[in-house]
């Protein structure tokens, strides 16, 4: 598993976080996962992004549901649309 992005180490206490796992069929190697972790992890309100090459899945820890549409939009923009 490649680089987790830990972004909320200081502010964690005040936030309620949720987690969502996306199936992303276009993941084919570690570079795909690294790109997704970097791009999605940079979004405001997103905490840890963890990709799994073998499972072709990405788990996103996020702050509020409104963030998810942005996550999905970003996945499409960078060429890794989530499976419906």
Q: Which residues bind Cu ion (CB under 5 A)?
A: 28-29, 31-32
Nearer to Cu ion among residue 32 and residue 75 (C-beta) = 32
Which two tokens mark 25?
Answer: 């069929």
Alpha-carbon radius of gyration of the chain: 12
Q: How far, in Å, CA of 5 to CA of 40, rounded?
A: 10
Which two tokens mark 57?
Answer: 């899945």
Q: How far is the CB of 42 from Cu ion (least distance, A)?
A: 19
Q: How far is the CB of 80 from Cu ion (least distance, A)?
A: 9
């Amino acid at each position: 598993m490649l680089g987790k992005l830990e972004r909320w180490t200081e502010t964690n206490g005040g936030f309620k976080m949720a987690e969502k796992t996306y199936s992303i069929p276009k993941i084919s190697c570690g570079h795909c996962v690294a790109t997704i972790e970097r791009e999605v992890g940079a979004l405001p309100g997103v905490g840890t992004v963890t990709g799994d090459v073998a499972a072709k899945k990405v788990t996103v820890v996020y702050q509020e549901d409104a963030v998810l549409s942005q996550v999905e939009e970003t996945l499409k923009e960078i060429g890794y649309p989530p499976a419906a």
